[in-house]
């Protein structure tokens, strides 16, 4: 009983199992768990294997630590195999405003005859907090307010509602860092949940038509626990 208690309190801890020498791959480095981490070759302890407590997935300890260090160090860890979240994944999105509107008479490609829902996010430049890459320095916003478009169908409305649940339950919609697209550092960037930012056309690759978008974004949201059960 006492032991169970301890395990519940420490479910972020991983069980070390150097003796577990299975033939599975580590899904972070893609090398065998029976050998050293593909990223830590030559380093002492590069062959130590750990197992996450609740989902039981195994990784090189080195790989898991490197993954943790390269993402937001917010004391949460997401299993790269099954996406189970250990600790509370809170994110680092600066404060802002989200609003939605109906664009009457405008349709996105593939949903002709339906109006469009625009979901917009406004975030102002500010000073980075302790959760950001350069605490105390400025962060900048580029291209805000940013707008995502959804068809005004039952599924599109559901996704819009899920966006609200998502943004009010965590700080993962945007983050502060370096933009892949522009290369600018200390800027607010999209994070975790994909939006369709083009109403007409698909120049950026983030437009319509995309028949699987609504289903894909529903899966992205479900990865973060946002489902019908939240409504
Ligand atoms: P990023 O490039 O660092 O990428 C982060 C995530 O956002 C990735 O998942 C990526 O797939 C997604 N993403 C990238 N471009 C997107 C787009 N156009 N629409 C929807 N999702 C996109 O993220 P970022 O720096 O936040 O996004 C860069 C995009 O922001 C540019 O493509 C551009 O459209 C827009 N932007 C606009 C202005 C402006 O002044 N209008 C300025 C800077 C950036
Ligand atoms: Zn590995
Ligand atoms: Zn797992």
Domain ranges, ordered by start, for the chain: 2-86, 96-230
Question: Is residue 2 predicted with pLDDT exceeding 80?
Answer: no
CB atoms within 10 A of CB 110: 12
Which stretches of 104-214 are assigned E, i.e. beta strand?
A: 116-123, 126-127, 138-139, 146-151, 174-177, 187-190
Q: Respond yes or no on whether ipTM tops 0.95.
A: no
Q: Are 197 and 147 spatial neighbours (Cβ–Cβ below 8 Å)? A: yes
Distance, CA of 118 to CA of 150 (rounded, Å): 6
Looking from the CA of residue 189, the nearest atom of ligand 1 is 26
Determine the topology of domain 2-86 in CATH. Herpes Virus-1 (3.30.40)
Determine the topology of domain 96-230 in CATH. Enolase-like; domain 1 (3.30.390)
DSSP 33: T
Output Rg (C-alpha) for the chain, integer angstroms.
21
To test the pocket of ligand 1, the residue of 92, 108, 123, 182 to mutate (highest count of ligand atoms within 8 Å of its CB) is 182
pLDDT digits 0-9 by tens, 55-97:
999 999 999 988 888 765 566 788 889 888 787 767 889 999 9
Q: Is 182 in the pocket of ligand 1 (CB under 6 A)?
A: yes
């Amino acid at each position: 009983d006492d032991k169970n208690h301890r395990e519940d309190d420490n479910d972020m801890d991983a069980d070390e199992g150097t003796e577990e020498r299975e033939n599975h791959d580590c899904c972070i480095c893609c090398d065998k768990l029976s050998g050293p981490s593909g990223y830590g070759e030559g380093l002492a302890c590069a062959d130590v294997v750990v197992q996450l407590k609740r989902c039981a997935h195994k990784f090189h300890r080195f790989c898991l630590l490197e993954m943790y260090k390269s993402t937001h160090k917010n004391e949460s860890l997401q299993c790269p195999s099954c996406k189970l979240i250990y600790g509370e994944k809170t994110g680092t999105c600066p404060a802002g405003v989200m609003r939605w509107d109906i664009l009457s008479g405008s349709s996105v490609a593939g949903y002709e005859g339906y109006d469009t829902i625009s979901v917009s996010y406004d975030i102002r430049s500010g000073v980075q907090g302790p959760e950001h890459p350069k605490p105390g320095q400025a962060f900048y916003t580029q291209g805000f307010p940013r707008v995502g478009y959804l068809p005004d169908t039952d599924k599109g409305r559901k996704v819009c509602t899920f966006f609200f649940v998502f943004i009010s339950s965590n700080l993962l919609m945007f983050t502060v860092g370096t933009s892949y697209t522009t290369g600018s550092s200390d800027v607010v960037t999209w994070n975790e949940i994909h939006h369709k930012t083009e109403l007409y056309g698909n120049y950026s690759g983030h437009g319509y038509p995309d028949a699987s978008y609504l289903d894909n974004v529903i899966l992205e949201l479900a990865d973060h626990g946002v489902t019908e059960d939240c409504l």
